[in-house]
Amino acid sequence: MNVEFVDEIALDIATKSHIADLMKVCFPEEDFHGRHYFKQLPHYRLLLKNKNQLIGQLGLDYRVMTLNGEPINVLGVIDFAIHPQFRNQGRAAQMLNELEQLAHKFRTNIDFLFLVADQHDFYRKFGFELTAQHVRWLVTEEHINYGMKEGFFDHCLMYKQIGSKPWVENGNLDLMGYWY
Ligand SMILES: CC(C)(COP(=O)(O)OP(=O)(O)OC[C@H]1O[C@@H](n2cnc3c(N)ncnc32)[C@H](O)[C@@H]1OP(=O)(O)O)[C@@H](O)C(=O)NCCC(=O)NCCS
């Protein structure tokens, strides 16, 4: 099985359909409405394939956020999932190791990896840390923009330092866009 790094803009119809099918199986609690993305298109994806079968996917959102007013380059992980039939075989680990290599390759352009998750212990194994932040973000739902919202979160935001910039705890984190 191999992991491909692809640009969202280059996805063909068949691949988008395979991603949509995978999202439906892996996130039964969320309604993707048949789309291959939940709220917004990511910029890149890592796709884990067995010949032509899509086994896993990880969306990547690349953006500038601000932490206490300082711009930080953030590569965000979105909708990471492995097909149920292929779980507990180290496939997620394979994809996160691939992400680690990718982040290392582009480390001059990435300050932090970032994600929103409940499975803290899983991501801790790969060097992510839970953080507490006062967050500002853009609320979007089903292609409708509801404007900005703010709140304190200490149970779901995780980051991993890539560059030399230090992370700041209990800061003001502006996502500078939608919450993924
Ligand atoms: C979470 C998920 C991606 C893990 O995929 P996987 O291929 O089964 O994971 P791996 O086999 O590579 O497991 C790697 C390690 O993480 C552990 N692990 C796997 N799922 C875990 C979980 N939910 N919580 C804590 N640890 C977990 C494994 O035991 C393994 O640990 P080890 O190396 O010490 O043995 C998969 O269960 C999934 O797709 N879930 C549904 C979608 C989802 O919740 N995605 C995450 C959104 S934030």
pLDDT of res. 125: 96
Of 23, 128, 134, the residue nearest 82 (C-alpha): 23
pLDDT of res. 10: 98
Ligand 1 atom nearest to CA at 82? 39
What is the pTM (predicted TM-score) of this model? 0.96
Q: What is the mean pLDDT of each run of 10 residues along the chain (180 residues)?
A: 97 98 96 97 98 96 98 98 98 98 98 97 98 98 97 98 97 98
The first and second tokens of residue 9, run together, are: 């803009």
Architecture field, domain 2-178? 3-Layer(aba) Sandwich (3.40)
Pocket test of ligand 1: the residue of 21, 119, 123, 157 to mutate, having most ligand atoms within 8 Å of its CB, is: 119
pLDDT of res. 46: 98
Q: What is the residue with the minimal CA distance to atom 9 of ligand 1? A: 92
For residue 78, the CA-to-ligand 1 centroid distance in Å is 15
Q: DSSP assignment, residue 1? A: -
Q: What is the residue with the minimal CA distance to atom 10 of ligand 1? A: 90
For residue 25, the CA-to-ligand 1 centroid distance in Å is 15
Q: How far is CA 16 from CA 6, 13, 68, 132, in A?
A: 12, 5, 37, 35
